[in-house]
Amino acid sequence: MTRTAVPPLHVLLALAVVAVWGTNFVVIRWGLDDLPPLTFAALRFTFAVIPAIFFLKKPDVPWRNLAAYGVLIGVGQFGLLYIAMTQWISPGLASLVVQIQAFFTIGFAMMLTGERIQRFQYAALGLAAIGLASLMIHATSDAKPLGIALVLAAALGWAGGNTVARQAGPVNMLAYVVWASIFSAPPLFALAFIFEGWQPVTHAIANADAGAWAAVLWQSVGNTIFGYTVWAWLLARYPAATIAPLSLLVPVFGMGASTLLLGESMTPWKLGAAALVLAGLALNTLWPAWKRRMMMSGEPA
């Protein structure tokens, strides 16, 4: 990392990535109109592998690590997320609730490495938990309890994938995701044939229109190839504390896109719950950097 000040062009690149990641929840909703959820997820990972795998060298990590990441992210995160978004939660709220993975990741780190939770993390988790409780209490067609539960399970899968990736050490993250995806598509296709049926799956694929394929490619090329490549490039050039907080904008883009493109209502209780969850995520993400800055300046934190 050679710089700390981020040029405007690189800020725009970072914003483009979080915009793609956030608006992708709307794209998922559009794709689910034509494709069953598990089939849709399987296709997403199929095109994340092909043709990228022919141009990226396999990262120097064990196959079991790639397999664990592929299953946890493919089936655990996206399989459950897509199922939830068929009818049980809106894209905007899904983009918010799934960010709880940050706290699940901390929990896994505590169990596996003995890391101790800090006081500010208790406060951050408390804020997010109150926000989630508000969503459950006010559950409507935009966020049914089953939908929230499925997205929380997806967040758990994401956190598990984060933990596995962390064990892989410093690797080319794009290559890692692409090679791990070869373990995502097969179980997703298998589950699709079991639970969605051979005929519905094959019929959906054979009759998918240009919009459905565009939704698949948006996730495979936009989310994976563009998103991970640019994000990893930025993290290699600038401190993580400079770049990582921008990921807090993912649910902002997700909820904004859902409102503008799908007409999702933003009621006061929903905005309040979102503010609490985002406040918890922001506290968890920004407090360590702020505390270090205060210590370096000699001011009490």
Say which residue, 252 or 284, is predicted with more confidence.
Answer: 252
Q: 85-105 pLDDT, tens per residue? A: 999 999 999 999 999 988 888
Residue for token pair 């993250």: 173
**Residues paired with residue 89 on neighbouring β-strands, in sequence order:** 143
- pLDDT of amino acid 290: 72
- Cα dihedral 27, 83, 274, 119 sign: negative
**DSSP state letter for 89:** B
- Which amino acid would we find at residue 104? F
Cα distances (angstroms) measured from residue 161 to each of 37, 164, 231 = 20, 5, 17
Rounded CA-CA distance 1/11 in Å is 16
Q: Is 290 helix (H, G, I), strand (E, B) or coil?
A: helix
- pLDDT of amino acid 245: 78
Residue 2 pLDDT exceeds 50: no
Rounded CA-CA distance 130/101 in Å is 16
- Taking residue 224's Cβ as centre, other Cβ atoms within 10 Å add up to 20
Say which residue, 138 or 107, is predicted with more confidence.
Answer: 107
Q: 152-209 pLDDT, tens per residue? A: 999 999 999 989 988 888 888 899 999 999 999 999 999 999 999 999 999 999 999 9
* Range with the poorest average pLDDT among 54-58, 145-149, 185-189, 224-228: 224-228
Residue 1 pLDDT exceeds 50: no
% pLDDT > 90, the chain: 55
CB 60 within 8 A of CB 27: no
Q: Taking residues 202-226, report their average pLDDT.
A: 93
Rounded CA-CA distance 146/264 in Å is 19
Helix (H) or strand (E) holding 155: helix 145-168
Rounded CA-CA distance 74/187 in Å is 8
**Structural domain spans, the chain:** 8-297
Using a cut of 0.85, tell me whether the model's pTM lies above it: yes
Residue 3 pLDDT exceeds 60: no
Rounded CA-CA distance 209/22 in Å is 23
- Name which of 242, 246, 253, 257 is nearest 289 in CA terms: 242
Cα distances (angstroms) measured from residue 143 to each of 11, 31, 78, 149, 175 = 33, 19, 18, 10, 35
Q: Taking residues 215-223, report their average pLDDT.
A: 92
Residue 298 pLDDT exceeds 60: no
Cα distances (angstroms) measured from residue 283 to each of 101, 118, 119, 128, 195 = 15, 12, 11, 10, 40
Say which residue, 190 or 116, is predicted with more confidence.
Answer: 190
Angle between helices 37-49 and 80-87 (to 10 degrees): 140
Residue 296 pLDDT exceeds 90: no
